[in-house]
Amino acid sequence: MSTAFNDPIRAYIVREFLAGEDAEDLTDDFDLIESTVVNSLGLVRLISWISETYRIPVDDIPLEPAAYRTLADIRDFVGKAAPAAPATV
Amino acid sequence: MAAESAAEQATDTYGITAPYGDELNDDVTRWDRAAEFPHEKWKPLQRSGLFTLPFAPEYGGAGRTLTETMAALEGLGHTSRDAGLNFSASTQIVSVGIPLQAFGSAELRERYLPQVTSGQAITAHAITEASHGSDVMNIRTTAVREGDEYVINGGKLFITNAPVADLFLLYVRTGKPGAFGLSTFLAERSTPGLTIGEPLETMGLRTSPISEVTLKDVRLPVGNRLGSEGAGFLIMDYVMKREVLFSFAVNLGEMTHRLKRVVEHATTRQQFGSAIGKNQAVAHKIADMRIAVETARKWLYDTGRKVEQGKDASLDVAATKILVSEANQRTAQDAIQIFGARGYLTDTGIERELRNAAAGSIYSGTNEIQRNCIAALMGL
């Protein structure tokens, strides 16, 4: 399992959605949606953060909640996406 | 000492509109009474280069950063006493240009961005609807795909710049209810079926025209869509963060100017043999104004840097919006009290600042919605 120290996506989820809680159960296949760790508002924030942090072109961002079900799912598409040219703003 | 701007020292963009102060401040009271958009004041803003700042050089932009753009807008707020014009200028930068640059196709960017960065095309974004103000995820205006086109039906309300805008970014529903069914389209004013209502009379920001936009069988090519179908919420999130930072950076400049004016008045206005600022009742009010201005500055630029770095600033943006809008209202109210009867007179422009500040707790998501958002982010 990745730790927050070497996995920025896990670190983000722990910081933003599990602050103050035990993050030990957050394994790579832990269901973020089913467990309601990430609710509908959280999903919007998560997608927005991934899009901006990894500069993934909007056309390459999956818009189905299923793509964000687990840490492994998220890493999978982030790893495949080519970053867009950095915008000035 | 009156408040000095950290932005003024930190970036060269702060003062770009300052040389145009006389033109921008010409007859502000008359324009406010007339409630007209001052087209002739748009020209000095174009000449200043304000509209070019955050855009790439290939589209006529200056390639400056988000916080450098904020500093220029803060400078505009300090220079220009026409808060309506300032608000329209901020809307010009964020409504179409920013999302077009970040999410538009190369063809759309090449065709429209140079018009936006030059200020030749005035822009607006249409989000709010009569039945859905702050509840933006439940937008009802629909776009239905028919071949290579979308047919859009519905209506938008309270759209800043609409009466004078040439380009509109429309947020509409292309799919299921909720966030993931929203999409974004670029439309020219002349598009058949897109009708602009008469300007609506407002309490403040009277030179920034707002109106209804009706959309009846508006046909737009698929190529006018920004991003993929369903990506509207992502674009909206991106834009709204920057809208808050830009429009409230303007407010920071306006508050800084107000504070300087109040300090000048309190040190020169004599009552009972001394300057009124020597009275603790007045001095404490001014000290509180200074605290409000500096707190607003810290929040705005801290949040701006966070957004610039691609960090999650959802809570910061909501808090900044509440903090600055309420500071703007409070300091405008205090300025009237310190100026006394003169503050109440229309000609001094002090009362106008309170009217202008009133809208800040409503637009860009009401402060109640922002507080709901913060509470939700805290798991409440």
Range of the domain at A12: 8-80
DSSP state of A64: S
Assigned token pair, B321:
């919006």
Chain B residues in contact with A52 by the CB 8 A cut-off are: 238, 310
Q: What is the pLDDT of residue A87?
A: 61
Whether B108 has its CB under 8 Å from any CB of chain A: the answer is: no
Q: What is the pLDDT of residue A86?
A: 58
Kindly determine whether residue B376 and residue A40, on different chains, have CB atoms separated by under 8 Å. Answer: no
Closest CB from B54, B228, B314 relative to A58:
B228
Helix axes B83-92, B232-268, angle to 10 degrees: 150
Query: Smallest CA–CA separation between A1 and chain B, in Å?
Result: 24
Residue A61 lies in a domain: yes
Q: What is the pLDDT of residue A74?
A: 93
Query: Smallest CA–CA separation between B40 and chain A, in Å?
Result: 28
Q: How confident is the model at residue A8 (pLDDT cuts 50, 70, 90)?
A: confident
Assigned token pair, B184:
């974004």
Only one residue has tokens 């072109």, namely A57
Chain B residues in contact with A88 by the CB 8 A cut-off are: 54-56, 61, 63-66
Closest CB from B98, B103, B242 relative to A58:
B103
Whether A34 has its CB under 8 Å from any CB of chain B: the answer is: no
Q: In chain B, what are the domains?
A: 6-122 (1.10.540.10), 124-228 (2.40.110.10), 233-377 (1.20.140.10)
Q: What is the pLDDT of residue B340?
A: 96
Interatomic CA distance for residues B368 and B345, integer angstroms? 31
Residue A40 lies in a domain: yes
Q: Which residue of B has its CA nearest to A36?
A: B379
Q: What is the pLDDT of residue B193?
A: 98
Q: What is the pLDDT of residue B116?
A: 98
Residue A55 lies in a domain: yes
At residue B21, the 3 state secondary structure works out as helix
Q: What is the pLDDT of residue B267?
A: 98
Could you tell me the CATH number of the domain that includes residue A65? Answer: 1.10.1200.10
Interface size, chain A vs chain B, as Cβ–Cβ contacts under 8 Å:
72
Interatomic CA distance for residues B263 and B203, integer angstroms? 27
Kindly determine whether residue A88 and residue B312, on different chains, have CB atoms separated by under 8 Å. Answer: no
Number of domains in chain A: 1
Mean pLDDT of chain A: 83
Helix axes B314-339, B232-268, angle to 10 degrees: 30
Kindly determine whether residue A58 and residue B242, on different chains, have CB atoms separated by under 8 Å. Answer: no
Q: How far, in Å, are A16, A75, B163, B280 from residue A9 at the CA level?
A: 11, 8, 44, 52
Interatomic CA distance for residues B16 and B25, integer angstroms? 15
Closest CB from B66, B178, B227 relative to A59:
B227
Q: Which residues of chain B have pLDDT under 50?
A: 1-3
Whether A21 has its CB under 8 Å from any CB of chain B: the answer is: no
Kindly determine whether residue B231 and residue A40, on different chains, have CB atoms separated by under 8 Å. Answer: no
Interatomic CA distance for residues B277 and A48, integer angstroms? 48
Q: Please compute the mean of the pLDDT values over residues A27-47 and round it to a whole number.
A: 89
Kindly determine whether residue B101 and residue A59, on different chains, have CB atoms separated by under 8 Å. Answer: no
**Is-catalytic flag, B243?**
yes
With a threshold of 0.85, tell me whether the complex ipTM lies above it: no
Residue A51 lies in a domain: yes
Query: Smallest CA–CA separation between A75 and chain B, in Å?
Result: 18
Q: What is the pLDDT of residue A25?
A: 80
Q: What is the pLDDT of residue B3?
A: 45
Q: What is the pLDDT of residue A85?
A: 62
Q: Which residue of B has its CA nearest to A84?
A: B102
Q: What is the pLDDT of residue B376?
A: 86
Q: What is the pLDDT of residue B149?
A: 98
Q: How far, in Å, are B83, B208, B244, B355, B362 from residue B359 at the CA level?
A: 11, 12, 13, 8, 5
Residue A86 lies in a domain: no
Q: What is the pLDDT of residue A39?
A: 85
DSSP per-residue codes, A31-63: -TTTTTSS-HHHHHHHHHHHHHHTT--GGGS--
Residue A34 lies in a domain: yes
Residue A30 lies in a domain: yes
Q: Give B352 or A86, the one with higher predicted confidence.
A: B352
Whether B376 has its CB under 8 Å from any CB of chain A: the answer is: yes
First and final C-alpha spacing in chain B = 43
The C-alpha torsion from B163 through B74 and B329 to B200, rounded to 10°, is 0
Interface test with A, best of B237, B245, B369, B378 (most A CBs within 10 A): B237
Residues in chain A: 89
Q: Please compute the mean of the pLDDT values over residues A47-61 and round it to a whole number.
A: 86
